Chain A
Amino acid sequence: MRSFLYVLSALAVVALGVWAYQENYRTQEAMREVRALHRDIGAAHERLQMLRAEWAYLNRPDRLRDLAELNFERLRLLPLMPDAFGKVGQIAYPAPALPPITDPVEVSSDNAPENPDAPAEETAR
């Protein structure tokens, strides 16, 4: 019994050693990865910074105004003036999309060659 315990503890020590060895190398690997990621983040940050600066530069008010003036023929953009405000009532109510037909009704005109009248449910709302 005792010798069995000895063997067991020796095995445990060996197992712990192996585990610690592996853990050590895995930690080092993870740290290398973290360093690489930090480098990548730094590079990405720098790139992002550059892109943001470029975006801001391309969107500078002077340039946008000049572009709006150059493309007035096509876009007809004007500075936002008080008369640009409207009322909700002035906007046409968007026609609701027709729901999908789930229970088609057979009508006598179904097989007619030509039907000029719209179906009843489309006009009544």
Chain B
Amino acid sequence: MIRTPLRPLARILRARDRGENPDRIEAENRRLRHERMQDRARQRAEGRLLVMAAMFLVAFGAIGLRMGVLAGTVPEEPTAQARGNPIIGQRADILDRRGRILATNLQTHSLYAQPPQMVDPEKAATELAAIFPELEAEALQEDFTGARRFLWIRREISPEQMQAVHDIGEPGLLFGPREMRLYPNGAVAAHVLGGASYGREGVSSAEVIGVAGVEKFFDERLRDPGNEGAPLRLSLDLSVQAASERVLQGGMMLMNAKGASSVLMDVHTGEVISMVSLPDFDPNDRPRVLTEGDQGDSPLFNRAVQGVYELGSVFKIFTVAQAMELGLVDPETEIDTSGPLTWGRFRIRDFRDYGDELTTRQVIVKSSNIGTARIAQEIGADRQRDFLGRLGFLDPTPAEMVEAPTGAPLLPDNWSEISTMTISYGHGLSSSPLHLAAGYASLVNGGTRVTPTLLRRDRPQQGPRVVSEEVSARSRDMLRAVVTEGTASFGDVAGYRVGGKTGTADKPRPQGGYHEDKTIATFATVFPADAPRYVLIVTLDEPQIEALGESRRTAGWTAVPVAAEMIRRAAPLLDMRPDVASRRPVGVTLTAN
């Protein structure tokens, strides 16, 4: 840029010649220069303002556009983050207490047909019938040539069958992935697990839903994808369960019983270690519900939970324990057992005549109905009802199975004095073997209530107190005496100090009264009697054996040997070491005052 001088010499000389003031020229020039400078500055500022305005316009425009785009699009999860675990959409496994699989899933295929796509429906129908024996070629052909556009052929097929169907080469036969619930152990723990079937079905997948047992009770939990397939851990022990089923099966056959059940329960935690009901079924191929006859004879019927029976003399210990708790008797109190005891039109008899008097302890050991009924008379109906309620005999068991609420005990309509007397020895009140297990566990574990559970627990239940520690110890002492000197002498397993009480109840007739020759034989045991850990209930339905030249149906001859064998098999599996060396008598340290 050429700077114009403020005092151009030519003009100044000229002005001097004319006698003008040359400073005015300088001032004029200076003014012009300033004007130009001002113009430039304004232009520049205006340009900057324009740029600023454009920038703001672009910025706000961008923000506005982005907001519009965000408002207009479907929300989407950010994909740029790697999640730790892809959600597992399978139904969760069911494990036993040691982590062995009781129920899991298997990926199989389903077979369906789309008749419009078929090339040779006749050939397809005949070949399918050859692969699957239960299908009929005619029916298939009718379906394939009819108006149907879609039909299921099989829900689950094995890989071999799938290959065979592939080999037909029919484009109208299609496969879909299908998840199948598998119970790898077959019939073991069938009643507890229940079974599963398909809910809503689609071509590419199907819902697996539980239909019974634990599978149905925990259906939501097992299907919830939020659990990421975390398995459900039951309290059952697979090997103990399998051994128990085997022993009970053998015992049922030997004793000619038509059904049997057993419950093995931890007395402190209330965990059910094994629960057997025979006859059983294979949950992989769950049989249909009986449409006629007694549902109680169906293999689906869980005798341990749903079967409510009058369990007989096993109840006597509750009566005696309550009387001891109330201070009415102690083990050496003499009880009048002269019989028969007549109350109104009822007569209560004993299996044998035990003389005029027995001590309380002898009443239990010899299982005297009369003695127990007399003790119950002293207790009274209200107190008995309250006590049995605290042991859980008045409500269905809270076991985690859908069948549990159906096993509600049958109580007398009117809890009269005669009801009190009969209930004292186990007649007139029907309950399930699981009730009995919980009742015995509550009584012998030191006297605090336990409720049965099918879930793995780590710590003992801290239930409300039912009887005192001392009464609990005395009850165990009596139960032990039943085995050492009483009706359950076959029940002694060396080293495990088994204590227990037998119960033989005549089966009630549907039309009223009792069968003469049909019994329910029950043996309720606790072992070891001095430091109880487990309660085992074994029930045989209509057992009958020939022994010593007589036909025998009592529990002492039938249920007791089976229970003893079960303890012999189960206890070592539960890490219990037989204590053969110390032959200490039970209860010496806990004598009565």
- A56 adjacent to B184 (CB under 8 Å): yes
Of A50, A57, A85, which is within 8 A of B107 by CB?
A: A50
List A residues 65-86 near B (Cβ within 8 Å). Answer: 65, 79-85
Q: Does B119 contact A (CB under 8 A)?
A: no
What residues of A have a CB within 8 angstroms of the CB of B88 in the complex?
45
Q: Does A110 contact B (CB under 8 A)?
A: no
What residues of A have a CB within 8 angstroms of the CB of B243 in the complex?
61, 79
In whole angstroms, how far apart are the Cα atoms of A30 and B90 in the complex?
Answer: 27
- B186 adjacent to A60 (CB under 8 Å): yes
- A49 adjacent to B105 (CB under 8 Å): yes
What residues of B have a CB within 8 angstroms of the CB of A83 in the complex?
578
Q: Does B298 contact A (CB under 8 A)?
A: no
The residue on A at minimum CB distance from B239 is: A61
List A residues 29-75 near B (Cβ within 8 Å). Answer: 30-31, 34, 38, 41-42, 45-46, 49-50, 52-53, 55-57, 59-62, 65
In whole angstroms, how far apart are the Cα atoms of A62 and B495 in the complex?
Answer: 28
Select the stretch in B357-365, B535-543, B566-574 that faces chain A.
B566-574
Task: Kindly provide the distance from the CB of B240 to the nearest chain A CB, expressed in whole angstroms.
Answer: 10
Q: Does A27 contact B (CB under 8 A)?
A: yes
Of B79, B106, B242, which is within 8 A of A61 by CB?
A: B242
Q: Does B66 contact A (CB under 8 A)?
A: no
Question: With contacts defined as CB atoms under 8 Å apart, how many contacts are there between chain A and chain B in the complex?
Answer: 73
Q: Does B188 contact A (CB under 8 A)?
A: yes
What residues of A have a CB within 8 angstroms of the CB of B242 in the complex?
61-62, 65
Main secondary structure of the interface of A (DSSP, over half): helix
Task: Kindly provide the distance from the CB of A29 to the nearest chain B CB, expressed in whole angstroms.
Answer: 12
Of A27, A34, A57, A80, which is within 8 A of B184 by CB?
A: A57
Of A53, A59, A82, which is within 8 A of B572 by CB?
A: A82
What residues of B have a CB within 8 angstroms of the CB of A59 in the complex?
100, 184
The count of residues in chain B whose C-beta lies closer than 8 Å to any C-beta of chain A is: 33
Task: Kindly provide the distance from the CB of B73 to the nearest chain A CB, expressed in whole angstroms.
Answer: 19
What residues of B have a CB within 8 angstroms of the CB of A55 in the complex?
101
User: Known contacts A50-B107, A53-B105, A61-B188; is A85 also within 8 Å of B86 by CB?
Assistant: no
In whole angstroms, how far apart are the Cα atoms of A85 and B104 in the complex?
Answer: 34
Known: A49-B105, A85-B578. 15 other contacts (CB 8 A): A31-B82, A41-B86, A46-B107, A49-B90, A52-B101, A53-B184, A59-B100, A62-B186, A65-B242, A80-B572, A81-B569, A82-B495, A82-B571, A83-B578, A85-B572
> Can you sample 25 A-B contacts with CB below 8 Å?
A30-B82, A31-B80, A41-B86, A42-B86, A53-B101, A53-B105, A53-B106, A53-B184, A55-B101, A56-B100, A57-B182, A57-B184, A60-B184, A62-B185, A62-B186, A79-B243, A80-B569, A81-B568, A81-B569, A82-B494, A82-B495, A82-B568, A82-B578, A83-B578, A85-B578
